Chains A and B, each alone.
Chain A
Amino acid sequence: MNFIIDYYNYWVVVFLMMAGFYTVIAANNLVKKIVGLNIFQTSVFILYISMGKVAGGSAPIVADGITVYSNPLPHVLILTAIVVGVATTAVGLALVVRIKHAYGTVEENEFKHKDDLI
C-alpha cells in the first residue's frame, strides 16, 4: 500500500506522457498533434513538481511559524518551461495556419505526397 502511494504519481505521469505521445504520432490532424504535444509537456511538469514536494511542507514562501518548505528549485525550472511551451505552441499553430493556406488541408494523409507544390 505504501509502495503504491510512493510511486502512484510517477505512474500516472508516465500514462499521461504515453497518451500525449500516442496522440502526436497517431493523430491525422495537425491541430490534434499539437494538443497531444501540450498534454505530454504538462505531464512532464507534474513529474518535476512531484519530485519537489516534501511531505508536511508548505509552499516556498517564508512565513512565521513554518519550518519545512517544499523545494523551490523545480518550481523555477517549470515556470520557465511553461512559458517556453506556450511560445513553442504559438509558433506551431502559426505553422499549421500556413500549411492550411499552402496545401488546403491539415490532415496529414492528404498533404504528405504534395511536396511538389513548393
Chain B
Amino acid sequence: MTELIDLVLLAMLAITAVGVIFLKDLFAVVMLFGIYSFLSALIFVNLDAVDVAFTEAAVGAGISTVLMLSTLALTGRQEKVSDHKTFMPLLIVVATGAALIYGTLDMPPFGNPDNPVHQHVALRYIQDSPQEIGLPNMVTSVLASYRGFDTLGETAVVFAAAIGVLSLLGMPKRERAAIESGLESHLVLQVVAKIIIPLIILFALYVQFHGDYGPGGGFQAGVIAAAAIILYALVFGLPVATQVLQPDLLKTLAALGVLIYAGTGVASFFLGGNFLDYNVLASNPVAGQHVGIILIELGVGITVFAAMLSIFYAFASKAERKNIQ
C-alpha cells in the first residue's frame, strides 16, 4: 500500500514540475512550486521522514513561497516570450538524464534492509543513542549531539544569509504608523488573524521544546514563529509590525542565537571537555546531553526566527517603498 501511495504522489510531483516549465504566468509558477513543496512533504511522511516533512512543509511551502511572491511584487508577474533556441538545453538535459538513469541501475534496491547505507554508522546511532543520549527522537540526538558541528555551521549559514539580504536590500526603520497600510477592508481576515496568531506562536513554542520526543526542534519552531509574525505584517501592515518587533531587536536576536550555540561549546571547554562535548555540562553524562541539546536548540530557534523575519522585513519594505498595495 505504501508503494501505491508513493507511486501516485511521485507521479503528481512530476506533473507539477512539467507545469512549472510551460507556464508563462509567474504567479501560477510560484503557486505550483508551493504545491510541489507540499507534495514532497507528503512523500517524506510516506518514507518515514517525519522531521524532514515538517521542515519541508514549513520552509518550502511557507517561507520560500512568501519570499518569491514578494519578489514578484517588485519585478513583475508575466514572463516575456524569449527568442532562446530551446534545442541546445533540451539536448544537454536529455543527455544528462540518460547518464543519470544509467547510473541509478547500479544503486541498491529501494527499501532493502541490507543496503550499505544502513550498516556501520547508522546502526551504531540507532542502537546506542537511547543509552548515550536518552532522547526518543533519534534525529534530534544525531542532529544536536553527534553531528553538532554541522548544525553550528548551518546556523551560521542562516545568519550569514540574513546579513547578505540586509546588505543587499536594507532594513526598514521603526517608524510611526503614518502610512495607513494593511488590509483595512478585510474585516473577516483581521478577526481570524487575531484569533490564530497567538495559537501559532504557542504551537511554535510547543514544537521547540517537544523536539526531543517527537518531530520538531529549533528550525521548525523558528520558521513557524516567523510565519506568525509574517501573517501579522501581511494583514495589519508592515509599519505596525515593525513597531511590534523592532528591526534592531531582530538583528540582536539573530546574533544572540549563534552566540548561545557557540557559547555552549566554549562552556564545555571551561568545564573540562572538548568543544561541544555536552557530557561535562551536568553531573552525569545523560543529563549533560539533555542540557546541551536544549540550549543549542534554543540558539538555533532564536537565530532562524530572527533571520527569516529580517529577510521578510527587507523584502516587504522594498515593496512598501514602491507603494504596491
Contact = CB atoms under 8 A, between A and B. Distances in A.
Nearest to A23: B21
Contacts of B109: 6-7
Interface of A: 5-12, 14-23, 25-32, 34-36, 38-39, 42, 45-46, 49-63, 68-76, 78-80, 82-91, 93-98, 100, 106-109
Contacts of A90: 67, 161, 165, 311
Contact of B52 (A10, A45, A108): A45
A79 B55 contact: yes
A14 B150 CA distance: 27
Contact of B93 (A21, A29, A91): A21
A51 B55 contact: no
Interface residues of B, number: 98
Nearest to A27: B79
Contacts of A108: 82
Contact of B82 (A28, A50, A89, A93): A28
A73 B121 contact: yes
B109 to A, nearest CB: 4
Given A19-B18, A109-B84, A62 B130 contact: yes
Interface centre among B21, B100, B318 (most CB of A within 10 A): B21
Chain B interface, >50% SS class: helix
Interface string B36-69: 1100100110011111100110011001100110
Given A26-B89, A29-B26, A94 B20 contact: no
5 contacts: A14-B100, A50-B110, A53-B110, A61-B138, A73-B121
Interface stretch (B9-17, B174-182, B192-200, B240-248): B9-17
A82 B164 contact: no
Interface stretch (B111-119, B230-238, B281-289, B290-298): B111-119
Interface stretch (B139-147, B249-257, B259-267): B139-147
B64 A38 contact: yes
A62 B7 CA distance: 28
A110 to B, nearest CB: 8
Interface stretch (B151-159, B183-191, B201-209, B268-276): B151-159
Nearest to A5: B3
A82 B52 contact: yes
A94 B6 CA distance: 36
B219 interface: yes
B168 A97 contact: yes
Contacts of B5: none
B136 A63 contact: yes
Question: What 4 pairs between A and B have smallest CB-CB spacing?
Answer: A87-B161, A55-B111, A28-B82, A6-B109
Nearest to A90: B311
